[in-house]
Chain A
Amino acid sequence: MMQKKIWIKIFISCLIITWLNLSCRENKKLPDDFELATAWADMTNYITKTTPANSPTFASRCFGYIGLTMYESVVNGYPEYQSVAPQLNGLGSLPLPEKGTRYNWQLALNAGQAEILRSIYIQTSDKNKSKIDSLEQYFVSVFKIKIPDESIANRSILYGKKIARLIFEWSKTDGGHRAYLNNFDKKLFFADKPGCWKPPLYAQSFSHFPLHPHWGQNRTFLAVDSSIAAPEFIPFDTMPGSAYYNQFMQVYKKEKILTQEEKEAAIWWSDDPDVTFTPPGHSYYFATLAIRKTKPGLIKCAETYARLGMAVADAFRNCWKWKYQFFTERANTYVPQHIDQRWESFWPDPPFPAFPSGHAIQAAAAATVLTNLYGENFAFTDSAHVGRARDEIRNTDFKARHFNSFWQAAEETAMSRFYGGIHVPQDNARGLEKGKIIANNINQLHWEKISDNRYK
């Protein structure tokens, strides 16, 4: 009897040891390039989501620098590609790798991503910082084994870090550095004119000042992006039947007939910075979906994140410029005053002016970049919020969404703000238009050395 028990114990122990061995060996298998890149994108979104006081503006800017770092840390390993640094708004050339020496570009990317994340999200918790460190350490340990010469590994790591530090230094002068410390300018004086933005009563934020009012003065990644013409705006009017009035009437009427599916879209895309990775994070996640599906090489992964990051960053910067130029009201201000006092939007107001929609502009920018890289008919399933507790107030679940193209997703992003009652149609339409223009500028950078064929 006793002997039998001992044998069982020994058998189980052997099983565990074998399993451990196997799993360790499996861990040491070299990850594919796309796995390395997307692991860092996942980490980037995790940090974006779990760092307090984040905002779509600040997050968008971080995606820009993090994506750019990924590209610049590996681009010199791919002779057909070139650095875009000199084509950007004042970054200048970044240092080249030492001639005649070997590099491991995976280790360079790994070091660069860890470094830029730690620097640009300096405000994140110690727990999050150690998560970044352990991901970095993990990849170092798996790649180092395969590299015979330790000096190659060290050189690569140093190079990746150097690129990250230089990009971070550049980021400090764009106007958005440590902007989380000044989300709301409490000394801001804003004019009180008809149709102007009013601090919301049914609000997402406790602040009665609008978010990042000076964001529109920040440096853009592309100089050309700062000179895009302002969108057309339908002028204020209280006359029933006027074009302006009808914009709000549409929102008002829609709220009363929202289908369950439209409600699902409204909460899905809300991407509240307090609990999610913000709207630009949602776009960064789309890049990850495209990469996981197509499994491209390292350089295309990096190019994807760089383009996407800079596109959403410039989209938000321009959007904020126009938001404060027009400084327009939301439906929660106009409708109770001119249509129905008891009305309330399906989703609470964010703390900034309405026109144009930030969701729309960044979604269009992201879709334009991703379509250019992965084609028009790209079917994918968005599961970003699957598993979140249902929205009890609105009786709505977070359900995965399927799209046949990136543009379809962008259009739904924009529409969802209309369903939520926080944007009128013109906010969305002008947002989509401008986002496309911004992304096309990014697409037209010279990424490949003999690039020009690709974009014609």
Chain B
Amino acid sequence: MITGINEMRYCLFMILFFLHFFIYNSFCQTRFKDITAEAGINQVFKVYEGMFGGGACVIDFNKDGFEDLYITGGMNDDVLYKNNGNGTFTNVFEQSGMRGTKNYVTQGVAGADVNRDGFVDLFVTTITRRDKRLVIPRGINFLFLNNGDGTFRDATKEYGLDQLFSFSTGAGFGDFNADGWPDIYVGNYFNEYKGKLSVINDNTVVEANQIAKGYLLLNENGKKFRDVYSEYGLDYRGFGFGGVFTDFDNDGDQDLFVNHDFGYKRTPDMLLENRYPKKKFTDVSKETGMDLRINSMGTAVGDYNNDGLMDYYMTNIKFNYFMVNQGVGKPFVNKARELGMDFFAISWGANFADFDHDGDVDLFVANGDLNPNCVPMADFYFENLGNKFEDHARAVGLADYGIGRGSVVFDYDNDGDLDLLVVNQAPVLDYPVSSYTRLYRNDSTGGNWIKIALKGVQAESHGIGSKIEVEAGGKKMIREIDGGSSSHLSQNSVIAHFGLGKVPKINKITVYWTGGNKQTISNIPVNRLITITETPEKKSNRFFVYLLIGLCSAATCFILWKKVKMA
């Protein structure tokens, strides 16, 4: 009898123990807290006529060490959220000098130090005007130079961008000629409109809604942008959603992956290999298997299996594509299904980040219907389990049903883990849940980390497009500094973030600067933000090498000449 009771007690204890363990475990998971309201974020993207738009750019515009946000509003005003450093933001858009965008329907945004004065400037794309209804919806794209005092000035005209009347979507910075001046690729959805608005006739109207060429804008010494699309051998048209600069083949220059909508009907996605130092991009979409014939909305760039090669997750309608890099010369393989990340949805933004500090990148995906049709669909949070991914969106508090578009990761509270902002659209029709832009604080409990900011001297001043490799705990992890047009119409923080698990020290950090400069530091302590400043390559060495070669050749010529003369 007594034994019986004891046994029962034991059983009960075990049940409670396991139950406790189970509950504890489930609470232990990475939790995201929606802190939109308490952080003072009050934004929603308003569409012009269906579907298009909504991105954010992470930018520390006042260089106070707290990353700020620029978010496009479409038919609503854009916002510039200054990070107050105390967990809250203040919208300083009105006094920012960027009110010119109020006359336009904005779409995407990206930032880089265009004139190399140390302050990040902004590029904002638009599709049409807001203040008047145009027969042909076309806008211009804005370039705002950072004055360094918390304000910007409109430099669109000064930089030769005011006559590009386009229906532009995503814009991203990169430095494809590796001269340290950040260049831009702009995705256009409909044909550019050339000429004065007074000559619109039926022909111009119907021509305008055809597929468009992108802009490849070369930064000329920080003074001007020039469209070199055809000069670089490009002649493609498509329903462009932008393109992300990335080094897919680890050859040190920035290639370009272009997202195209309706790839199965018109131009598929394109992977353009940079043939630097030639002034040329070569279309390698076909042989690399990247000519995806999908409704390609955006791209997340990350190395999910820490093999040193960048992998690409493309958002789409219905099923997304996860193109895993198999190494140089081999085609990419879509592993979305195999890795458990192929749920039915309409996806836009996507971000790789090590949200849980376990040494591999997880993936957030922002979902939303083609507003005005409004079927709610939850966002995804794919946790990287090593050999597969699992959607834990509901468990971690990210299964929002808003009409998601662009999304960005950054560490807004400087606590070492990556937080998340998701731009949502206001529904055109009735919608059962609320849909507005949300900020999620990552309340990750454990795991070491490191954040690395780059300071380019020859390379772009925040290291855009450069790669960082961290060797720690037997792992090599890489990050590429995001220049924008990643996720959907957005740009993540330019500060690289690595989760390190229990690893107490980093053996080595290598920076592969755009332009070929390589730099290594070792024995770095964890849980801090470090800044690596580029050590410029010593040009003098090269000069002596050339001098030596020159002298040798001169000598040889002289000897030969003498011999000939003697004969």
The verdict on A181 contacting B205 (CB below 8 Å), with A199-B373, A206-B261 known, is yes
Q: Is the CB of B317 within 8 A of A208?
A: no
- Residue numbers in A under 8 Å from B207 (CB-CB): 52, 125
Number of interface residues of A (CB under 8 A): 27
Indicate which residue in B293, B317, B372 contacts A393 across the interface (CB closer than 8 Å). B293
Interface residue A53 (Cβ < 8 Å from any Cβ of B): yes
Cα of A181 to Cα of B203 in the assembled complex, Å: 10
Q: Which residues of A contact B262 (CB under 8 A)?
A: 203, 206
Minimum C-beta distance from A338 to chain B (A): 14
Residues of B close to A186: CB separation below 8 A: 49-50
Q: Mark A185-227, 1 if CB is under 8 A from B, else 0.
A: 0100000000000110111101010000000000000000000
With a cutoff of 8 Å between Cβ atoms, the chain B residues found around residue A203 in the complex are 262
Task: State how many angstroms separate the Cβ of B260 from the closest Cβ of chain A.
Answer: 12
Residue of B nearest to A181 (CB): B205
Does chain A have a CB within 8 A of B206?
Answer: yes
A178 CB within 8 Å of chain B: yes
Q: B210 within 8 Å of A by Cβ?
A: yes
Contacts of B203 in A (CB 8 A): 122-126
Query: When the two chains form their complex, are residues A180 and B202 in contact, meaning their CB atoms are under 8 A apart?
Result: yes
A199 and B265 contact, CB distance less than 8 A = no
Q: How far is A186 from B205 in the complex, measured between Cα atoms in Å?
A: 16
Chain B 248-296 interface residues, beta-carbon cutoff 8 Å to A: 261-262, 264-266, 293
Beta-carbon contact of B264 and A123 below 8 Å = no
Residues of B within 8 A of A77 (CB): none
For A329, the chain B residues whose CB sits under 8 A away are none
Q: Are A393 and B264 in contact (CB under 8 A)?
A: yes
Given A125-B203, A201-B318, A208-B370, is A53 in contact with B209 using a C-beta cutoff of 8 Å?
yes
Say yes or no for B344: interface residue by CB 8 A criterion.
yes
Contacts of B49 in A (CB 8 A): 186
Residues in A neighbouring B370, C-beta threshold 8 A? 199, 201, 208
Contact with B along A2-46 (1 / 0, CB 8 A): 000000000000000000000000000000000000000000000
Q: Among B210, B265, B318, B372, which residue has its beta carbon within 8 angstroms of that of A204?
A: B265
Cβ contact within 8 Å between B239 and A206: yes
Q: Which B residues from 333 to 360 make CB contacts under 8 A with A?
A: 344, 346
The CA of A373 and the CA of B202, in the complex, are separated in Å by: 37
Tell me, yes or no, whether B51 is within 8 Å of chain A by CB.
yes
Closest chain B residue to A128, Cβ basis? B203
Query: What is the 8 Å Cβ interface bit string for chain B, positions 349-381, against chain A (1 contact, 0 not)?
Result: 000000000000000000000101100000000
Residue of A nearest to B262 (CB): A206
- Asked whether, in the complex, the Cβ of B373 is within 8 Å of the Cβ of A180, the reply is no
Give the chain B neighbours of A52 by CB distance below 8 A: 206-207, 209-210
- How many angstroms from the CA of A393 to the CA of B261 in the assembled complex? 15
With the chains together, A201 CA to B203 CA distance in Å?
29
A123 touches B51 (CB 8 A): no
| Chain B residues within 8 Å of A341, by CB | 344
Contact A208 B202 (CB under 8 A): no
Do residues B50 and A208 form an inter-chain contact, with CB atoms below 8 A? yes
Q: Which of A317-342 contact B (CB under 8 A)?
A: 336, 341
Assuming the contacts A125-B203, A202-B318, asked whether A208 and B51 have C-beta atoms less than 8 A apart, the reply is: yes
Nearest Cβ on chain A to B458's Cβ, whole angstroms: 42
Nearest opposing residue in chain A for B371, CB measure: A208
Q: How far, in angstroms, from A206 to B210 measured CA to CA in the complex?
A: 11
Give min CB distance, B57 to chain A, whole Å. Answer: 26
Cβ of B318: which chain A residues have Cβ within 8 Å of it? Answer: 201-202, 344
Known contacts A53-B209, A123-B206, A393-B264; is-contact A201 B346 (Cβ 8 Å): yes
Q: A113: CB under 8 A from chain B?
A: no
Partner of A208 from the list B206, B264, B266, B373 (CB cut-off 8 Å) is B373
Is the CB of A231 closer than 8 A to any CB of chain B?
no
Residues of A within 8 A of B201 (CB): 122-123
For the complex, give the distance between the alpha carbons of A336 and B50 in Å. 24
Interface positions of A (Cβ within 8 A of B): 51-53, 122-126, 178, 180-181, 186, 198-199, 201-204, 206, 208, 272, 274, 336, 341, 344, 348, 393
Q: List 25 A-B contacts (CB under 8 A).
A: A52-B207, A122-B202, A122-B203, A123-B203, A178-B202, A180-B206, A181-B202, A181-B205, A186-B49, A199-B373, A201-B318, A201-B346, A202-B264, A203-B262, A206-B239, A206-B261, A206-B262, A208-B51, A208-B370, A208-B372, A272-B265, A274-B265, A274-B266, A348-B265, A393-B293
Q: Given contacts A53-B206, A203-B262, A208-B51, list 15 more A-B pairs with CB under 8 A.
A: A52-B207, A52-B209, A53-B205, A53-B209, A122-B202, A122-B203, A123-B203, A123-B206, A124-B203, A180-B202, A181-B205, A181-B206, A201-B370, A202-B317, A344-B318
